[in-house]
Amino acid sequence: MEQNGTTDALNEVVNEINEISISDKPDTEEPEEDYGICEECGNKNTWNYWCLQCNSKHFQQNFGNWTSGNKDVDEIIQETQSNFTEEFIEIP
């Protein structure tokens, strides 16, 4: 029963983060910044010294090497890391 409560709470937090990141986007597009080229894959970096594709790949390759001790929490973290599409968002 406690795992379901934990899963529900984590899903609620993920939904709130998604709402914040969507609502904080400006209505007009800003010019794309140049963060250079990823040395590993040759694609454009999506942040300073950070490549979205390579970072996601590294997370996925490391899934078997860690656990929170809670399968539901692990699945939420892995799903979030696999589907991450934006640069880091600082939450105060």
Please give the chain's pLDDT, 92 residues, in tens: 455 667 777 777 666 766 665 555 555 666 667 889 999 999 888 878 778 888 888 888 888 888 889 999 999 888 887 777 665 566 66
Output the pLDDT for position 1: 45
Position 40 in a domain = yes
| Total domain count, the chain | 1
Whole-angstrom distance, CA of residue 23 vs CA of residue 10: 20
Whole-angstrom distance, CA of residue 50 vs CA of residue 87: 9
Position 72 in a domain = yes
What's the burial of 70, exposed, middle or buried (CB within 10 Å: 0-12/13-18/19+)? Answer: middle
Domain that holds residue 47: 33-84
Does the pTM exceed 0.75? no
Position 67 in a domain = yes
Position 48 in a domain = yes
Position 21 in a domain = no
